[in-house]
Amino acid sequence: MKHSEYLIAKPSKGSAGQTGLWRSFRPVYHVERCIRCLLCCFYCPEDVIEVHYHRFILFHYEYCKGCGICASICPEDAIEMVEEEE
């Protein structure tokens, strides 16, 4: 690798490591209550909520910091924050 190449930082997920380890509470999804308004995906600061097949949403727990914004913004209480064990 050229020196100049090394000087340029490259876009990568996990620039601060596995930020999922920061979590004290984990968002748990209740598919039966979800109306697919997508507000949770839209406002998640970490951008770790994805929609699958236009049907249900999926959390990437590797980087989800457990901030709880998705749960507090959900109009249907379809996301519950559950305490992590250990």
Sign (positive or negative) of CA dihedral 40, 45, 49, 50: positive
What is the smallest separation between the CB atom of 72 and ligand SF4, expressed in angstroms? 9
Q: Which two tokens stand for residue 49?
A: 């909520």
At residue 43's C-alpha, the angle toward residues 53 and 66, to 5°, is 90
Out of other proteins, ligand SF4, none, what residue 58 binds, judged by CB under 5 to 8 A for its kind, is none
List binders of other proteins among 3-42 (CB under 8 A).
Answer: 6, 9-19, 22, 37-39, 41-42
Chain residues that interact with ligand SF4, rule: CB under 6 A: 27, 34-40, 44, 46, 48-49, 57, 59, 64-70, 74, 76, 78-79
